[in-house]
Structure 1
Amino acid sequence: MADHWNRVLLLGSLILPVCSIAVNGNISQNCSDFQTSSWRNILQRLDLNVQFMLLTRRNPDCARPINVNNDFQSSNFNGSLPTKLILHGYRMTGSKPSWVDTLAKELISAMDVNVVIVDWIIGSTAVYHSAVQNSALLGFKISTLIANFIAHGSTKDSFHLIGISLGAHVAGIVGHIFKGKLGRITGLDPAGPKFSKASVNERLDPSDAIFVEAIHSDSDCFGISEPVGHIDFYLNGGKDQPGCTRPILSSGLLERGGLSADEQPKEVKAYLMTSSDLPFCVKHFLVEIFLKQLGLHDQRVEITFLSNNHSNISNLQLTIPNKQSSERTVRKVIPYVRFGNMDAITIELLSSWRRKRHTIHIAELRVRELPLNDRERPPCCINNIVTDEKIFFGQFGNCL
C-alpha cells in the first residue's frame, strides 16, 4: 500500500508542474475579453476606448488584442483570407453581448477567416443618444484598422461587416468611408431610433458595400422599418418574434426615438432561388453592369446566361436607365448551378410600340459568385459591349 501511495505522489509531482506550465501558457497568450462599463465611466466621460480582438482557426478560443498600429505580420492575421468584423450595438447596462462568442466560433468553423470582434462597450453604454454620437468616431477607427489590413495584403471586397442594431449603422459609416467598395455588410435588426427619418448618408443603405443585406426582426420597437439594403428580410412581418417578449422600455423609447406607433414597414418581398432538381439548391451570383453611354430613354433588356454547350441556364430582365440618370452601375443577383460552367451571354433589346430600341454601350459586365471572398473563383467579364441589334452574343473572359 505504501508503494502505491508513493507512486501516486510521484505522479502528482510530475503532473502539477505541467498543469502550472499550461495555465501560465494560457496567461502568456494574452487573451482578451470585453471591457466592462459603469456609471463611473460615463460620468468621467472617458475616451471611446475601442478594443479590437482577433480570432482565427489558430486561436479559436483565445481572442488576441490588436490595434491599428500593430505589426499584423507577427499576429495570426492572414491578409490572404477573408475578414469578418462583428459590431455590437447599444448596451444599456454595459454588459458583454452574450451572442458574440457563439457567432465568432461559428464563422471560424464554417470557413477559414479572420474574425475581428469590435468592443466599444465603454462608448455604447447607458445613454443611447451618446452612443449614437460615438458611432461616427467608431466608424473612423474601424476604417483605420481596415486600411492597415489592406496594407498587409487584404482586398476591399474581402471584408464582411456584421453589425447588430446601432452596430449595423456603424458598419454603414465604415462602408461610406470606403465609397461602397467593401465586399458585404449584414445588418442584424438595424436600429430605428435616431435613424428612421435619417438620410441615406446618415444610416446604412445599399451604397455602403458591394452587397448589403438586412434582417428586420423588431421594426415596431427598437429596429428600423425602412429597407436599408439590396435585400431586406422581414421575419414574421419584421415585428415581434415568436417566443420573444417585448422590452419593458419599448413604449418610452419609441416616443423618444421618432418612430410613431402607427408606422408600418414598407412591403419588401425576398425570394429564395431553387433549381428544379434535387437537392434544389443553387449558387447565387452577383451581376454587375458598368454603363458607359446612355440613350434618350430607358431601355429594357433581357440577358440570358449560357453554359459551355450554349444551353439556357438563367435569365435576367432589367432596365438600362437613360442619360438623365446619375446611376452608372446596375447590380442584380441571379441563380446558377455551377460557376465554372458559365460560358457566354446573349443580350436582347426589348422594344415596345411606344419606344424603339436604341444603342446601348456597356463598359463591362462582370459576374462573381456570392459571397465575394473566394479567390479560387475569380470574376469573369465581358468588356466593351456595344449593340443596337435585337440579339448580342458574347463570351466570358478574364476581367481586366
Structure 2
Amino acid sequence: MPWEYKTILLCVLSIYITSLVAGLDETQEDDQCTELNNTTWAEYRQLGVKLQVLYLLLTRNNMDCAHKFNQESLTRPASYFNVSRPTKVIIHGYRALGSKPSWVKELAQALLRAQDVNVVVVDWVYGASFAYNLVVENYKEVAVQISVLINQLQEHGCKLESFHFIGVSLGAHVAGFVGTLFEGKIGRITGLDPAGPMFKGADIFDRLDPSDAQFVDAIHTDSDYFGISIPVGHVDFFLNGGKDQTGCGRSRFASMYGYVICDHMRALHVYMSALNSSCPLMGIPCSTYEDFLKGQCVDCGVFKGTCPVIGLSENSGITMSQIPKEQKLFLLTSSTPPFCAHHILLELEVSTLDKSAEVEVTLITENLGTEQRLRLQTDMTVYRTVLAHPVALCEIDSIWMTNTGARFYRQGEIHVKSVCVSEFPSLRHEAPLCVNNINIKRGVLWSHDFVQVCSFY
C-alpha cells in the first residue's frame, strides 16, 4: 500500500478514534451523578440574572443518582428515560439566597416510591435568584425553554396527557405558562403554594389557572404573604385556612430565613408526606374558612360525596366527568409529619343563659388532649365548632368540660342539654358520641368516659 494511502487511512482512523473517545467521555459525563447548581451574590453582581435552564433525570433505576438530561439522552442505548411511562416534571421557585433547593431529591424519590415514572427536575437556579422582580420578568422564558424539551419528548413518543408538572411557589406559574403554551393539553399541574407577590392581580394568561391542564390542583399554606390567596386550580386545598400553619409560629429554626418561609414551604412538606403516608388528607368544600370552622360544611356533596385528597390519585380522587373549577377545600393538619388530623365536629346545646359564660371542652385519648374554648352568649343556645384531633372518633376515651367563667358577672351554673362529637367526613358511618342533661357549676370539672371499640374496615 502506497504511503499516501497509509497516511490518509491513519488520519481517518485517528479522527474516528478521537470522535469515539469524545462520545464515550460525553456519555460518561451524562451518566455521572449530578446535582442542581448554586449561585452566589458575587456571580449575580457580575452577571446579573443569568437564565440557564438545565435538566436532571431520576427513575427507579437511578433513584440515588440524578443524571443530566436532554434530547440527546434519549438516543443513547443506556438512557433511563422510558417514553412509555408517565413523566413528572419538578419546577422549583424563587431562590432568594441563590442556593439550590435541598428538597428536590426527597420529592423525586417520594414520587418514584409511589409510582414507576420518569422524574425530570428543572434546574433554573441561576435565573431564579436574588432579585425577585427580575426573576418574575424571566419566568415565561423558562417555560418556553421547557416547552422545547416537551416538544422533543413528544417526537420520541411521549403524550402530553402523560406529563404531570409539580411547581413550587413561582415554579407553579412557570408550569402554568407551559400549560398555556400547550393549550391546556398537559395532563396535570400541581401547584405547591403558588407564588402570590406580583401574581395576585395577574391575568389568567400570566398565572396558573384551571385552563392550563386537564386537571389542576393546588395546596395553599401562606396565602397572606408569599403564597397566592385566590383559587388557581380545579381544586384548591387551603390548609388550616391557607395562612398560618401549626408549628411554624413557635418553632425554632436554624436561621431567620427558615422561620420566614416555614408557612410557605409547608405545602411542599405536606405533599411529600401525602406521597409517603397511608393516612388520607381530605379537603372539605366550603365558601370560607370561617364557615368551615363553624361546622357549616361537613360533606362533599358538590363532588357527589367523594372528598378530594392530596396526592397522586387521579383528579385528586374525584370521579365526576365534569369537574368543577376553583373549588375551595379546607382541612386541618397537625404540626408534624404525616400532618394528618381527624376533623371532629363539636355540637353543644345549652339552656338559655342569664349571663355570658365560657366553657372549655377537652377530648381525651390516652395522654393526648384537644381543647376548645366556647364563649356562650345570652342570645344563643346552639354552638358548633370544628377541631383537629390526632386520632379517630372511636379512639376518644373521654370528654371533659369546665365552666371557666370565674368572674362574678358570668353564669354560675350551665345546663347543657346535649354535647355531641362526630367525625367528618364519616368514613365508617360512626354515630356521634353524645351526653345529655348535664349541669356544670363554675370552676368544677365534669367528665364522661366513652366505652367503645374501633372496627376498621
**Which structure's CA Rg is the greater one?**
2
Q: Cα deviation per residue 1:106-136 (whole Å; 9 max; x = unaligned)?
A: 1111111000111111111111111111201
Contact 1:227 1:266 in 2 (8 A): no
- 2:239 matched residue in structure 1: 235
- Is 1:200 aligned to 2:204, yes or no? yes
CA distance in 1, matches of 2:84, 2:76: 12
Task: Trace 1:1-400 onto structure 2 (pairs within 5 A).
Answer: 29-43=31-45, 44-45=47-48, 47-74=50-77, 75-245=79-249, 267=288, 271=300, 273-274=305-306, 284-285=318-319, 287=321
TM-score when normalising by structure 1: 0.57
1:288 Cα offset (Å): 5.0
3-state DSSP of counterpart to 2:126: helix
Separation in structure 2 between the aligned mates of residue 286 and residue 149 of structure 1, nearest angstrom: 31
Alignment deviations for residues 191-238 of structure 1 (CA, whole Å, 9 cap, x no partner)? 000000001000000000000001100001100001000011110000
Residue 9 of structure 1 aligns with which residue?
A: none
Q: Deviations over 1:314-364 (max 9, x none)?
A: xxxxxxxxxxxxxxxxxxxxxxxxxxxxxxxxxxxxxxxxxxxxxxxxxxx
Q: Secondary structure at the match of 2:144?
A: helix
SS in 2 for 1:234: strand
TM-score (norm 2): 0.50
Gap change, CA 1:148 and 1:266, over 3 Å in 2: farther
Return the offset for 1:29.
3.3
Deviation at 1:42, TM superposition (A): 1.6
Distance 2:317 2:52 in 1: 41
Identical amino acids, percent of aligned pairs: 49
RMSD: 3.1
Deviation at 1:41, TM superposition (A): 2.4
Give CA deviations for 1:285-333 in whole Å, capped at 9, x if unaligned.
35159xxxxxxxxxxxxxxxxxxxxxxxxxxxxxxxxxxxxxxxxxxxx
Give the count of matched residue pairs.
Answer: 248
The answer for unaligned runs of 5 or more in structure 2 is 1-27, 262-285, 293-298, 308-312, 324-457
How many Å separate the matches in 1 of 2:49 and 2:146?
19
**What secondary structure is seen at the aligned counterpart in 2 of 1:197?**
coil
By how many angstroms is 1:81 displaced? Answer: 0.2
Residue aligned with 2:56, SS: strand
Q: 3-state DSSP class of the match of 1:285?
A: coil
Q: Tell me by how many angstroms 1:40 deviates.
A: 2.5
119 and 266 in structure 1: CA distance in 2 versus 1, 3 angstrom threshold: farther
Deviation at 1:60, TM superposition (A): 0.8
| Alpha-carbon distance, 1:77 to partner | 0.7
1:121-168 per-residue CA deviation (whole Å, 9 max, x = no partner) reads: 111111111111120110011111111111111111000000010000
Query: Aligned equivalents of 1:234 and 1:193: distance in 2?
Result: 18
Q: 1:169 to 1:201 in 2, by over 3 A?
A: same
Conserved 8 A contact 2:49-2:134: no
Aligned partners of 2:31 and 2:68 also within 8 Å: no
Quote the offset at 1:28 in angstroms: 8.3
Counterpart secondary structure, 1:227: coil
SS in structure 2 of the partner of residue 102 of structure 1? helix
Contact kept in structure 2, 1:192 and 1:224, CA below 8 Å: yes
Q: Spell out structure 1 runs of 4+ moving beyond 3 A.
A: 26-29, 68-74, 245-250, 265-275, 281-284
Q: 1:68: Cα distance to partner? A: 4.2
